[in-house]
Amino acid sequence: MKSSSPLKWFASREGLYYLALALLLVVILPLALDPFRLNMVGKYLTYAFVAIGLVMCWGKAGILSLGQGVFFGLGGYCMAMFLKLEASTPEATAIQSTPGIPDFMDWNQLTALPWFWEPFHSLSFTLIAIIAVPVILAFVIGFAMFTRRVGGVYFAIITQAIAAILTILIIGQQGYTGGVNGITDLKTLAGWDIRTDAAKTTLYFVCVGMLFLCLFAARFVQNRKLGRILVAMNAQENRVRFSGYDVAAFKIFVFCLAAAFAGIGGALFTLIVGFMSPSFIGIVASIEMVIFCALGGRLSILGAVYGALLVNAAKSGFSESFPELWPFAMGALFIGVVLAFPNGLAGLYQSYVMPLEERLFKRKPKTEAAAPAPQKPVEKKDEGRDYDPMLDQYSPEKS
């Protein structure tokens, strides 16, 4: 793909998959859905950021994190803190005993804004913190774990424990975080009312744009030497280490990359939904995010987007009609993915749909002229024949 132009790439099979997703999100859904339903789709797409990060972290590098909700929540809380401070002007909070601070702080008898809230008066600082805070925490966790060669199920359990600890911490510090209710009643972003239908639609398109930026960033990583090293590290970690590569550094990088994606998704979730609470950080939320990735296909960044959309749409449908059955449906879905189609929807597409595409679009005519003289095959690197565009998977035999 290095020598091919963007137009040639968009005409390829992989490019057509991206164009189909863009057509669905930018044209079809906005025309077919009312503002309320479109806002719900925007909410579903925020989870796709986490799923894309899990594809890079789990599918490519083999690092299963059961605590991605932590990074999603940190990004969301950073944005919520800015929005809450903007809504807590002295004029708007004049009835409080201490005007100028968020309402839940006044309820808990705080008389001054905590020091770590002060920087979030700045939108620029908030935008940096949305990515920096999750990445810093991911770096600390990754450095502590991967340099000691902690991985596999042990790493998964540790990340799950971190999600539980952060949830308990947020709930316990109600005066500083809003407690179990979270940070609510968010109204404006830099003076722009985010509660109107027009604002919700605008935020939906912003979410779609950011989603494609993250998709292309993930694609850039996986299509470079770094992506090949991640895949090799997943298959034969010791061989990669003995080849002279610092395996811990690569693991820390991809874990921080997944945290950055999750932080962006959390911030957009806060803007679209209008609040952030610890229920989106805990163990249940984090495991659901893994299911989004597993259903779409843990080897496919595009499959992760479709997985997040489908699981959340099913969750909304079940919750509206049979709310008590959804946990059982989610468990059955996860078991079915593991046992029946471990590569998710992307694997099913590759197994059943792609062969049909080959027959429909690449089948030769039945009557042909005399066969031309055989020619020496020429390798065409820009066709990406060592690359499966649906599973995003390189074939070592052809690489």
The number of folded domains in the chain is 2
Predicted confidence at residue 381, as pLDDT, reads 45
Please state, for a pLDDT cut of 70, what percent of the chain lies above it.
88
Q: Flag whether 281 is in a domain.
A: yes
378 domain-assigned: no
Residues 211-222: tens digit of each pLDDT: 999 999 999 999
Q: Within a 10 A sphere around the Cβ of 10, how many other Cβ atoms?
A: 13
How many of the other CB atoms lie within 10 Å of CB of 340? 8
Based on the domain organization, do 235 and 195 belong to the same domain?
yes
Q: For residue 249, is it within any domain?
A: yes
Residues 195 and 120 in one domain: yes
pLDDT value of residue 282:
86
pLDDT, position 168: 94
Can you tell me whether residue 299 is helix, strand or coil?
Answer: coil
Strand 387-388 versus strand 393-394 pairing type: antiparallel
pLDDT class of 362 with cuts at 50, 70, 90: low
Confidence (pLDDT) at 57: 93
On whether both 184 and 52 belong to a single domain, the answer is: yes
Q: Are residues 97 and 136 in the same domain?
A: yes
One domain, residues 87 and 232: yes
pLDDT digits (tens, 9 = 90+) for 222-251: 999 999 999 999 888 889 999 889 999 999
The predicted pLDDT at position 395 comes to 39
DSSP secondary structure code for residue 66 in this structure: S
Identify whether residues 194 and 274 lie together within a single domain: yes
The answer to whether the pTM exceeds 0.85 is: yes
Tokens representing 114? 């905590």
Name the residue range of residue 74's domain: 45-305
Task: Say what the pLDDT of residue 399 is.
Answer: 34
How high is the pLDDT of residue 93? 84
371 three-state secondary structure: coil
Q: Tokens 């700045």 appear where? A: 122
pLDDT value at position 52?
95
With respect to residue 255, please indicate whether it lies within any of the assigned structural domains.
yes
pLDDT at 368 over 70: no
Give CA angle at 1 (62, 388), nearest 5°: 45
pLDDT confidence tier of residue 166, bands split at 50, 70 and 90: very high
Contacts of 5 (CB under 8 A, 6+ apart): none
Residue 328 lies in a domain: no
Judged by average pLDDT, the poorest of 29-43, 76-90, 308-322 is 308-322
Beta bridge partners of 388: 393
What is the 3-state composition of the chain as percent helix, strand, coil, each rounded to the nearest 5? 70, 5, 25
| pLDDT for the residue 382 | 44
Asked if pLDDT for residue 29 goes beyond 90, the answer is yes
Q: Which residue has the tokens 């609040």?
A: 275
399 domain residue, yes or no: no
Residue 162 has pLDDT above 90, yes or no: yes
Q: Does residue 88 sit in the same domain as residue 139?
A: yes
Looking at per-residue pLDDT, the higher value among 77 and 334 belongs to: 77
**12 in the same domain as 75:** no
**Distance of CA 18 to CAs 1, 13, 23, 212, 302, Å?**
15, 9, 9, 9, 8
* Contact (CB, 8 A) for 272 and 203: yes
Q: Indicate if 64 and 28 belong to the same structural domain.
A: no
Residue 14 sits in the same domain as residue 50: no
